[in-house]
Structure 1
C-alpha cells in the first residue's frame, strides 16, 4: 500500500517478523498515533507471509497496552523497503540484508539500537517547530550525518537479542530495550 507523500513510514525488520519487529511496530504505533503523518509497519528478512506473531509477543504487547490483534507476518521486499523513509532492523545482519535488497536505502537503514544511540547525539533545536513527518525526515538526515563521526561501540551493542525459544521474561526484557530505543526516537520526532 502506497503512503501519501506527507506520511513518514518507518519499517521495523527482524528475521521472521514474529517477535522483535512486530513488537517494535506495535509499540511505535502507540507513539505514532499521537502525531499526524507518521506510519509504522514491520517485515522479516525470512518471514513466511501470513503468520501470527509469537504468543509471548502478543502477551507482552497486551501487558503494555498495545494492540496485538490482526497482525500477519510480511516478508521484507525491495518495494516495501523503498517505500519506507526509515528502516530499523533488529540486527546488523538484517540491516545488511535490507541494504542488499535495496541499496538505495543505505543512508536510511540502521539497527534500532544504533539509530537510537545516534539520535541521542542530534541537536534537538534543528528539529523544533516542524510537523512530525518533517521532524522524522530531518532526524534521519541528521543521524546519517553523525553516523560516520560517532565513536564506535562493540558490534553486538547495536543488535537486539532474539527472545525466541526463551521464557516470556526474555520477551519482556526485549520490550524494555525496544521501548527505551523508541522513547529516544519518538522523543525527537513526536515529543509529548
Structure 2
C-alpha cells in the first residue's frame, strides 16, 4: 500500500478535499491510499457540512471521514507527504526530519514532477528504478505517465534543488476557513485540478 498524506491546518477543508478528491480520481484497484491530517486538528468524526457538499458536487465521497492531528508517526509511515501550504510541509519535517525528501506542498510536487517528466524519460532514475513515460506533454494536455511511485518521489526531490524557484505563494493553496462558499468552491476546484494531474501522472495508481 502506498500512502499519500495531505496536511492542512484544521483537517477541515483543504486536506480533506485533497484526500477524497484524489481517491475519486485514482483508477479502480489502485494501491495508493490517500490520507489527511491537520497541524492543529482535533479528533472529530464526520466531515464539515460545507466541505462535504462541495466534495460531493465534484464527485467525491464524504462518508466515513474523521479529522485527526498530524503526528510524527503519520509522517514517517507515508510514502509521500503533501502540505497544502509551506507551513504544513515544514511542520511535517519538524516532526520527522528524516522524511524531508518525501515532503512537499501539493502544488510544488506536481509542478516539479511534471516538469521533470522528460528527464525521467531519459532514464535519470539514479539507480532507484526504471521509469517509463507514455506520450509527450503538449500545452493543455495530460502529463506523461511515470511507472514507479518511489522513482517519481525520488526524482522530484532531486529536481527541487535544481529547478528555477517560484514565489512561495505560488505553491500554496489558500485557506478558505470562514470565507464565503464561493471561495471554498474555488479552493476545491483548484485542489481537484492538481490532484487529478497527480493521479494521471502516476497512471491512476493502478499499477503501483
TM-score, with structure 2 as normaliser: 0.82
Distance change >3 Å, CA 99–CA 170, structure 1 → 2: same
- Does the 8 Å contact 1:23/1:175 carry over to 2? yes
Displacement of 1:33? 4.8
Match of 1:81 among 41, 64, 75: 75
Displacement of 1:51? 4.5
Unaligned runs of 5+ in 2: 122-130, 135-144
Displacement of 1:108? 0.4
In structure 1, the residue matched to 2:106 is 112
Displacement of 1:149? 0.8
Answering whether residue 149 of structure 2 is matched by residue 161 of structure 1, we say no
Bigger Cα displacement from structure 2, 172-181 vs 39-48: 172-181
- Does the 8 Å contact 1:18/1:52 carry over to 2? no
Displacement of 1:50? 1.6
SS in 2 for 1:120: helix
Separation in 2 of the partners of 1:113 and 1:85?
Answer: 17
Match of 1:14 among 1, 8, 13: 8
In structure 2, the residue matched to 1:4 is none
In structure 2, the residue matched to 1:141 is 154
Displacement of 1:35? 4.3
- Does the 8 Å contact 1:18/1:51 carry over to 2? no
Please tell me the root mean square deviation across aligned C-alpha atoms, in Å. Answer: 2.0
Cα-to-partner distance string for 1:51-101 (whole Å, 9 max, x where unaligned) = 533321111011011111121101110111111000000111111111000
In structure 2, the residue matched to 1:96 is 90
Answering whether residue 187 of structure 2 is matched by residue 174 of structure 1, we say yes
In structure 2, the residue matched to 1:36 is 30
In structure 2, the residue matched to 1:53 is 47
TM-score, with structure 1 as normaliser: 0.89
Q: How many residues align?
A: 184
Separation in 1 of the partners of 2:12 and 2:146?
Answer: 27
Separation in 2 of the partners of 1:181 and 1:137?
Answer: 19
